[in-house]
Amino acid sequence: MKATIVGAGPAGLLLAHYLLARDYRVEIYDRRPDPRTIDLDQRRSFPISLQERGRSALKGIPGLEDAIASHSVFCKGTVMHSKKGDRDIPRKNEVMTVDRNQLVLTLLEQLTAKYAQPELTIRFDCVCDRIDDQQQTVGFQTAEGEDFSVRYDRLIGADGARSQVRDQLSTRYGLSSELNYVPDAYKSIFLARKKPEQGVEFAPDRIHATNLGKDCRIILAPLPGDVLHGAFIFAGPNPLATFTTKEEVLDYFETNIPTFRSVLSTEEAEALLQRPTARLLTVKCEQFHYGDRILLIGDAAHAVSPSIGQGCNSALQDIAIINRLLDRYQDDWAQAIAQFSKERVTDAHALIALSDYSFPRSKRLIPEFLLRLKLGRKLNRWFPQWFKPFVFDLVLDSDMSYSEILELSQGWINKVKRSNERLNQRLAFSNEGATD
């Protein structure tokens, strides 16, 4: 049987590993250039923290997690930085932080080292622009203007939040999907992890974060090479939008984020001015399959806010679930993908709420968040049969389903949701006033 995968991101490549191990023939098509031909420094990227769900999926392919780990840093918690001091929040289990592009490159290199044509075919710079389910064909346009179609036995859309496969299913076959922009906007940021001449060094095994007030925050993950890579996040207007010089950026950090100013280079301050602002989509689908031959996975099916780091983890977990269902139904795709939708849609919808409302955007709720986290850990350690950990620990350190976690944490989720809605109303009013 031939599986045609549209999208060569983490989910699509991991699925290829699993299907090839099941003796399928696999074809992969991706709209982006071949990552093996582009310098890592020239590609936009972001750090990913791989936790229990994602790492368990990687372990299903021998040697894969170790190959990725060689390009990763293991973090044992988070440090919250503020002008008043730093607060260390240790983790029960380590998370593995890796650059997203490096993750893709490793998955791809491991795949092509083990398989070749005719078992595996990969083409880049191909945009999916049509699907004919009756003829079982999918069509592409290349960057050079070539138009071609291929026949599929099974078609998998793994092509991200802006999935062309999903759009084709919605337009031609009535698949129900809802797309929304995450309220926050993002700028990538790169800082040095240490500056010995100034006696500055950030912990190498911690994620580093700070809340700036005025609806801004920074989250940074350590990567190999003593680099902190992450995002400058803002819910309201871009605080850097009016700046025209790197000196203004440096002054802003000196005033508002002195903790990170010492490791912000003048080159990075200049780059922050030029670097584009990203807006991310969330995706909510009522089912993840069409008929008995087409399946959506990862962000194409259920993209979420990156606030609790579950986008890639849930996408990789999709693959482990699909593999389990193919085992259960002896590669009967009609049964396997229908069951995948049945199991996964409820969890995916729960994950949207968990991603949007687990971590408060209001500074007022941060102390309560930290108290609940600390108290939840103590009560769970003392009385595990009666008390579950707080929502963050359940998401990051357990394999409990997202829907179960949401049910257990509904009180806190509702509280953060109400707070965020009030914050959004204030922002909307403030923006209207600025426009007037």
- pLDDT higher than 90, residue 237: no
> Where are the alpha helices (H) located in 52-99, listed in sequence order?
52-59, 64-69
Beta bridge partners of 131: 138
For 214-229, the pLDDT digits (tens) are 578 899 999 999 999 9
pLDDT of residue 183: 79
pLDDT of residue 24: 97
Q: Would you tell me how many other CB atoms lie within 10 Å of the CB of residue 137?
A: 15
Q: Are 158 and 316 in contact (CB under 8 A)?
A: no
For 172-195, the pLDDT digits (tens) are 998 999 999 887 888 899 999 999
For 39-48, the pLDDT digits (tens) are 755 456 789 9
Both tokens of 404, joined, read: 């179960």
Q: Are 337 and 324 in contact (CB under 8 A)?
A: no
Lowest mean pLDDT among 73-77, 104-108, 279-283: 279-283
Range list of β-strands (E), 193-291: 194-195, 200-201, 207-213, 216-223, 227-234, 278-285, 289-290
Both tokens of 224, joined, read: 């190999």
pLDDT of residue 387: 81
Within 13 A of 242's CA, how many CA atoms are on the CB side?
3
pLDDT of residue 233: 87
Residue with token string 């064909």: 137
Report d(CA 269, CA 254) in Å as an integer: 12
Report d(CA 249, CA 271) in Å as an integer: 10
Residue with token string 């991603």: 355
What percentage of the chain carries pLDDT values higher than 90? 64
For 196-219, the pLDDT digits (tens) are 888 889 999 999 998 876 578 899
Enumerate the domain spans of the chain.
Answer: 2-75+99-180+281-355, 181-279, 362-435
Nearest residue to 331 (alpha-carbon basis) of 13, 55, 108, 23: 23
| 21-55 b/e (C-beta count within 10 Å ≥ 16 → b) | eeebbbbbbbbbeebeeeeeeeeeebbbbbbbbbb
Report d(CA 391, CA 414) in Å as an integer: 13
Radius of gyration of the chain from its Cα atoms, rounded to whole angstroms? 22
Report d(CA 426, CA 19) in Å as an integer: 50
What's the fold here for domain 181-279? Alpha-Beta Plaits (3.30.70)
pLDDT of residue 214: 58
pLDDT of residue 40: 57
Give the DSSP per-residue string, 302-332: H---GGGS-HHHHHHHHHHHHHHHHHHTTT-
**HEC profile for 18-36?**
HHHHCCCEEEEECCCCCHH
Q: What is the second-level CATH architecture of the domain 2-75+99-180+281-355?
A: 3-Layer(bba) Sandwich (3.50)
Q: Are 111 and 5 in contact (CB under 8 A)?
A: no
Q: What share of the chain is helix, strand, coil (3-state, %, to 5)?
A: 45, 30, 30
- pLDDT higher than 60, residue 427: no
Report d(CA 299, CA 313) in Å as an integer: 11
Report d(CA 248, CA 18) in Å as an integer: 50
- pLDDT higher than 70, residue 431: no
Residues 6+ apart with CB under 8 A from 353: 406, 413, 417
433: confidence class by pLDDT, cuts 50, 70, 90: very low
Average pLDDT value over all residues in the chain: 90
